[in-house]
Amino acid sequence: MRIESSTEPGTPDRPNEDFLSLALPASGHGGVLVLLDGVTPRPGNGDCVHSVPWFVARLGGALLELSVSRPEMTLSDCLATAIARTADAHRDACDLYHQLTPQATVVTVRWNQDTVEHLVLSDSVLLLEAPDGKITPVLDDRIDRLVAEGRAVPALRNAEGGFFTAAADPAVVSRAVTGSTPRGDVRAFAALSDGATRLVEVFRTDDWAGTFALLRDEGPQTLIRRVRAAEAADPEGRAVPRGKPFDDATAALVEL
């Protein structure tokens, strides 16, 4: 098994709000990967006293522990329980009903000798590689569809008809993209926060197959370096408009 990963904050003066963790249980028959992309808070986020890094560490740690130790639970159930635990950790001090309470996107993958399970919520990306080299992206494309429709996306966060993130309501797991693939049909997979998908989704200079080939041949750090070069060529986002000129970027490759 080969595992490579890299993560980098968008700018050095702000903490990295991505979370990446991976566990290989002692049984030797599989593993779990968890990638969260914390949503950078805007002014007026309900005056939550906890930072996004605090939130993703709590949520990601709980999700990893449950996914490893409770194989009888689905990934959706693991995420729901992790959200509830994290909400309980700051319910007494913070307004968890505020639309901008700390939250994150989610990619989690759990595999054993038989299956590869996945869960994707919001705009981080999972890429599955078949034995013949075919790349299948697993996407929660709600934000892209809203943008294509000309909708005001921020107002539709965790709202019916909008898009969803892991915040304080465990019921959000019903909105996740989930599935299971026979282990023999997956040769490798990659998990990417949206900051690491920009060559495909923002700058349009690559595709998913090219991104996967780059990860395999040159590694996640090279992918992030190329994203940074594209961002630096347009530092104010004028040629290619985007929410942040530079974004936290995390990429992980697992060859099974």
What per-residue confidence (pLDDT) applies to 155? 83
The structure tokens 């370096």 sit at 225
Q: Is the dihedral of CA 3, 59, 16, 201 positive or negative?
A: positive
For residue 96, give the 3-state DSSP assignment. coil
**Tens-digit pLDDT profile for residues 193-202:** 999 999 999 9
Q: Which residues in 93-223 belong to E strands, given as ranges?
A: 104-111, 115-121, 125-129, 135-138, 177-182, 188-192
- Name the least confident of 60-64, 142-146, 190-194: 142-146
Tokens of 25: 């249980």
What per-residue confidence (pLDDT) applies to 43? 66
**Tens-digit pLDDT profile for residues 210-253:** 999 999 999 999 999 999 999 999 999 999 999 899 999 999 99
**pTM given for the model:** 0.94
The structure tokens 């190329």 sit at 226
- Name the least confident of 74-78, 97-101, 111-115: 97-101
For residue 70, give the 3-state DSSP assignment. coil
Mean pLDDT of the chain: 94
Categorize the per-residue pLDDT at 141 as very low, low, confident or very high, splitting at 50, 70 and 90: very high
**Tens-digit pLDDT profile for residues 31-89:** 999 999 999 877 665 678 888 999 999 999 999 999 999 999 999 999 999 999 999 99
